């Protein structure tokens, strides 16, 4: 084999290996250390994620990152609304219901979380308390809110989803933990008011991030993934 071809193949394997490692390592962190991330590292994550592909290169994502006292003010406001049973004003329609294999996967993930925390199956009050931890950002020192332009519709949201994925992978590569949070988007009206966002901005989700508390039991389990055979159909004739 030609030496140059061999070197190219080796580099290719190295590159895909890094991506596979990041994807396999990443998980939704539900307990963070209080240590803040320095601005240079956050900027590195943002610069990397900015290379995300988007429909017609529209790059519709806008990001608000709250830290320090600003994060605490936001936490108090959104926690108060959520714990009071208020909100539920998604800008994008959430799933109507989970059925079949999608319901099975959702239940598996939920029961993994509850079993890890010692929450008894069917303990709805404990389920609710755990759900409210979304609004404490699971103790993360930083929270990002991802929003898009209303006229772009669902395609703007799809592009933001790609951005969120790349944000999380970039953060993982730099030693950070993340958790994407659709729960925050239940309070889009509050978010627009709190951060003085224009009326034409639509909240997609939040991302709490920082340094994972690896010693906390809630970070000890990992969700499963379906096989390629379960998700892909090849059509060749």
Q: What pLDDT band is residue 4 in, cutting at 50, 70 and 90? A: low
Global pTM reads 0.93
Say yes or no to pLDDT of 5 above 70. no
Q: What is the pLDDT of residue 161?
A: 98
Q: What pLDDT band is residue 62 in, cutting at 50, 70 and 90? A: very high
Q: Is 112:221 a contact under the CB 8 Å cutoff?
A: yes
Q: What is the pLDDT of residue 86?
A: 84
pLDDT digits (tens, 9 = 90+) for 147-182: 999 999 999 999 999 999 999 999 999 999 999 999
| Angle in degrees, CA 194, 133, 213, rounded to 5 | 110
Q: What is the pLDDT of residue 17?
A: 95
Say yes or no to pLDDT of 9 above 90. no
Instruction: Share the mean pLDDT of the chain.
Output: 95
- Per-residue pLDDT, averaged over 3-8, amounts to 64
Q: What is the pLDDT of residue 11?
A: 78
């Amino acid at each position: 084999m030609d030496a140059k071809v061999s070197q190219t193949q080796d580099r290719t394997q190295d590159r895909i290996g890094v991506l596979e490692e990041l994807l396999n390592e990443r998980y939704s962190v539900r307990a963070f250390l209080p240590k803040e991330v320095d601005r240079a590292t956050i900027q590195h994550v943002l610069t990397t994620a900015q290379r995300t592909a988007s429909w017609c290169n529209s790059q519709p994502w806008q990001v608000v990152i709250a830290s320090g006292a600003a994060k605490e003010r936001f936490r108090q406001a959104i926690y108060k609304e959520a714990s009071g049973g208020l909100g539920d004003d998604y800008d994008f329609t959430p799933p109507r219901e989970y059925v079949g294999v999608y319901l099975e996967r959702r239940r598996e993930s939920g029961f993994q979380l509850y079993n890890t925390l010692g929450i008894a199956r069917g303990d709805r009050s404990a389920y609710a308390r755990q759900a409210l931890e979304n609004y404490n950002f699971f103790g993360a020192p930083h929270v990002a809110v991802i929003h898009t332009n209303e006229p772009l519709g669902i395609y703007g949201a799809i592009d933001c989803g790609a951005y969120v994925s790349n944000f999380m992978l970039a953060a993982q590569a730099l030693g950070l933990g993340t958790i994407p949070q659709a729960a925050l988007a239940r309070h889009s009206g509050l978010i627009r008011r709190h951060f003085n966002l224009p009326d034409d901005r639509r909240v997609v989700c939040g991302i709490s991030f920082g340094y994972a508390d690896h010693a906390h039991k809630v970070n000890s389990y990992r969700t499963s993934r379906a096989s390629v055979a379960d998700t892909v159909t090849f059509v060749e004739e």
